[in-house]
Structure 1
Amino acid sequence: MEASNLKLSRRELLVMSAASATMMAMPAVAAAQSASAGRARPPVNAPVALRVNGHLHELELDTRSSLLDVLRERLQLGGTKKGCDHGQCGACTVLVNGRRINSCLTLAVMHQGDEITTIEGLGTPQRLHPLQAAFVRHDGYQCGYCTPGQICSAVGMLAEIEAGVPSHVSADLEARPLLSAAEIRERMSGNLCRCGAYANIVDAITDVAEGKA
């Protein structure tokens, strides 16, 4: 058949072009996959001593393990919840040396020697922490999944206010922050409640803060 008589439909031309591009790209993709496989390294384990809720735990950990996964899977402290696993919901909030952090965003090996407090370390069913009791009293939860993180964050937040740490809504950055609903909402904005119990959460925190004052 002469070239002048060769006629291709638009669809056939597109199919042939795509097939040609795919064949040309295959060697590069294979080379990249081979190089990536060559760079893969086995996990590295290290001895880590974590002090959690006043108890020392000596563990052998994969250095890539998040503090959240170690708390939940190795120490069986299921009160610390895994929500988004990206530091966006606050369900995994714990206290480290008195400061609140998202435990999903930090490696366990970074906290050797630190004092770590989870919701289990704040109180017991027989002797609740004041904030735990206030959340019950003001119905500051519905499904309860975010509640441990909310309470741990509230403990850290009240400590920040007592220390005079300002927030984005503080009227005077050099003055002692006022305890107001706006301050509480701003400071607790990193903890999401998908059930929408925010008003009751603010009431519970205000109750405890005013009692301290």
Structure 2
Amino acid sequence: MSLRALLAEVHPAWHGAGDGGLDPALLRRACDSALGRRLLAAALAAGPASHLLAPSPDGPGALIARWSRARLDALHRDLGVLAYAPAIRAEIGREPVRRLKAALGSSYLLALDRSVWDAKVEPEIQARLAEDLRHALSAADGTTTLLRTFALQGRAELQAWASHRDPALAQWARLLEAPEALPPAHLPEKPVLVVQTHHQNRAVAA
């Protein structure tokens, strides 16, 4: 992947654009300039992309090609669904179950799969997940709040796992979105690895 293509995927907020920072028009001009792109990449390498843009023979191209935005979105969704498994398994109402199945498709089965995770959590985590799920299911915006709830939790789970296991992946996933606070992560390492490996294998086979 070219430096231009990489920078085009990074959320402008990571360059300090907007809110009194770097002028968005100036950022666009920088991305169109070879020197500007090098300066932007150097700033990222010195900060939020220190592992992703660390000098290496292959560079970040292979990782970025493997983990496209769409594939990361799918990974975040599935990790979030799995993280909400304690609440999803406890939800037996006909309408909530129907909405979950309609919104998640085959990912709904992931939350029920005890071979991936037994979904045992502390009572306070169970209560938080149940409350958040009830709120998401009662939202009047269709599936928007529900899917965002799973995506945010999935982002938290990936960051917690990948920051130790694959820091470059953690940074790439973070750079695609605006900086924001994420909910606490609680998935054990093994279930995250199972889901991440599944998505990675699909990317390699594609």
> Would you call these one fold, judging by a TM-score over 0.5?
no
Q: Which has the higher helix share?
A: 2
Q: Which has the higher contact order (CA 8 A, sep 6+)?
A: 2
TM range (shorter): under 0.3
Normalized per residue, which structure has more strand? Answer: 1
TM (norm. structure 1) is 0.27
